[in-house]
Structure 1
Amino acid sequence: MTTIGTVFLPGLPPEQLRRVAEAAEAAGLEELWLWEDCFREAGVSAAAAALAWTSRLRVGVGLLPVPLRNVALTAMEAATLERLFPGRLRLGIGHGVLDWMGQVGARVESPMTLLQEHAEALRDLLAGERVTRQGRYVRLDGVALDWPPSAPPELLVGGIGKRTLALAGRVSEGALLVFGLTPAAVAAATGHVATGRAESGRPGAPRVVASLLTATGPGAAERIRGELARWEIAPSDDVAVAGDAEQVAARVRRLADAGATTVVLQPTVDDPDPREFARFAAQEVQPLVGAG
């Protein structure tokens, strides 16, 4: 069965997160995703709060830009959250928006090299290994976590480029895709991730997390048009959906057929009630997706 989640958008003030997280858990939602978005809201602190306010809900961070972070710090934060809330954290890492990285003096000459070095070191640290690396960007000398998790949290690599997606398959559990992709684009991305997974020789199919811009209720179509315009995405029935639960579930199934193992329903920034949106996803859409 396809996993359904929603997003707490960083366009909402942080003080609203508790109400949305608690409403999502009460509705039976499987996953709530958070964005670390420059320069709005941080991912780890928000994830810690959402996990503490709930007892079952899985919380994903999509994504932590690796140019902003020393890998040892990322590992310490992820290990702490995983030990406090076992099995409930999903962690995405990626290049970040390169212009934003430039704004803070963190842009690097080779983002791909940095992402690979960071992901490999992070994976090994969270597995409890003592790590020594002298890479182009990641340099560690006998670093090991005192409190590694009993099992590492699920690590995903975010991106859309062919090389980044193949890297996701090689060094992590899978890929976190950008939103606004058609089912055909999701299928192509899934293929690149699967290629990387095969190259790594690691068993099992990779996870692929896709997002679907979604609106329901009065004014849904207008809100979708406005959101696509804000993101400068050409209007298309293939990249967003405005409608009732049946219509949304049908679009989710198309993404699942294209290879998505998780579909995150992304509300518009002007959605009138994020808590009701979470309930809609959990109680109206998810049963129809499962039934399909």
Structure 2
Amino acid sequence: MSRWGITLPLVGIPLPQQRDLVKSLPDLGYTDVWSAETAGTDAFTPLALAAEWAPSLRLGTAIAPVYTRGPGLLAMQAATIAELAPGRFALGIGSSSPVIVQGWNAREFTEPFAHVRDTLRFLQKALAGEKVDGDFGSFQISRFKLERVPEQAPQVMLAALRPGMLRLAAKEADGAITNWLAPADVPKVRAELGADKELVARVFVCPTEDVAAARAFGRMLISSYLTVPAYAAFHDWLGRGEDLAEMRRLWAAGDRKGANAAIPDHVVDDLVVHGSLDRCRERVQEYVEQGLDTPAIMVLPTGADQFDVVRALGRQ
């Protein structure tokens, strides 16, 4: 049976107020909680709380950027959550984006594929309790050893949008985490990853039957994400390059309003789940039927009570 995940914390709600909801998630059919890290909470603190609030849930980062922490600190944070949730933690790592790495965190964004690969290899050694010393290619480590080695090392999964990273995940990691795809895209991603590795995807859910409002919200998100070079290349590979070409042209020209308007309705409907709560749950299930192991539902705030939405989207 596939897993059923939710992305937490919910937008705009203080963390302490989400305690009772998290405690109820297993009874609602959820198996996983996945955190994100952009400019809100960090990826690890909400999982530490969830480990206490709902001890049966699997916890995952989707994703922790490899540039915004040193490799040793990343290993320490992963080991801490693995100690709190033994056998129930998946560390998702990825390159993130130049905006987050350079613009917000004042770090160089160079050789992302190599840096993710080398961080993966370092983490596998460090989380196994080895003393790590040597040149990994994109960085060097001198005599690092965790003082608190988890009883069970966490899974390490890679954020992957294109064949190169998917194949690296297939060869060296425990699975892949992807983003911004339609159910029909899952088989193409799965073909690169292989059948024996876990595939996780964040699924954006806009629970409203106001189609125009859902599409307007979806367009704003799509234009801000799919103009990022890595996502643009991902959707070229998936076959949406022509559909998104005018959006990209207008965005590059500084016409944000025009870029949003240029996104075809069918692209929004493919990439953003919307409709009644029953329809949204059915649509998420379509991802699973196409080969996704773990949907990480991301509830988009539409004015509805987000707690009620999460409860309604649980696997029945």
Match of 1:206 in 2: 197
Query: What secondary structure is seen at the aligned counterpart in 1 of 2:310?
Result: helix
Match of 1:231 in 2: 221
Query: What secondary structure is seen at the aligned counterpart in 1 of 2:270?
Result: coil
Matches of 1:138 and 1:170, distance apart in 2: 21
Within a 5 Å distance, the mapping from 1:117-196 to structure 2 comes to 117-179=118-180, 181-194=181-194
Matches of 1:270 and 1:98, distance apart in 2: 29
TM superposition shift of 1:126: 1.3
Query: What secondary structure is seen at the aligned counterpart in 2 of 1:224?
Result: helix
Match of 1:258 in 2: 290
Provide the aligned length of Structure 1 versus Structure 2.
272
Match of 1:62 in 2: 62
Match of 2:83 in 1: 83
Matches of 1:134 and 1:278, distance apart in 2: 45
TM-score normalised per structure 2: 0.77
Structure 2 residue ranges without an equivalent (≥5): 224-262
Q: Name segments (4+ residues, structure 1) moved above 4 Å.
A: none
Within a 5 Å distance, the mapping from 1:33-112 to structure 2 comes to 33-37=34-38, 39-103=39-103, 104-112=105-113
List per-residue Cα deviations over 1:17-42 (Å, max 9, x = no partner): 434423434534211221111x2221
Matches of 1:89 and 1:271, distance apart in 2: 32
Matches of 1:222 and 1:272, distance apart in 2: 16
TM-score normalised per structure 1: 0.83
CA contact (8 A) 1:165 1:175 kept: yes
List per-residue Cα deviations over 1:193-251 (Å, max 9, x = no partner): 22xxxxxxxxx8100012322233x5453553233122135433322332345533442
Matches of 1:35 and 1:100, distance apart in 2: 13
Query: What secondary structure is seen at the aligned counterpart in 2 of 1:109?
Result: coil
TM superposition shift of 1:69: 1.2
Matches of 1:13 and 1:247, distance apart in 2: 25
Matches of 1:129 and 1:223, distance apart in 2: 52
Q: Structure 2 counterpart of 1:137, which letter?
A: S
Q: Equivalent pairs: percent with the same residue?
A: 23
Greater shift, 72-81 or 132-141, is seen at 132-141
Structure 1 residue ranges without an equivalent (≥5): 195-203, 288-292
**Cα 1:133/1:185, change in 2 over 3 Å:** farther
Alpha-carbon RMSD across the aligned residues, in angstroms, is 2.3
CA contact (8 A) 2:206 2:299 kept: yes
TM superposition shift of 1:52: 2.0
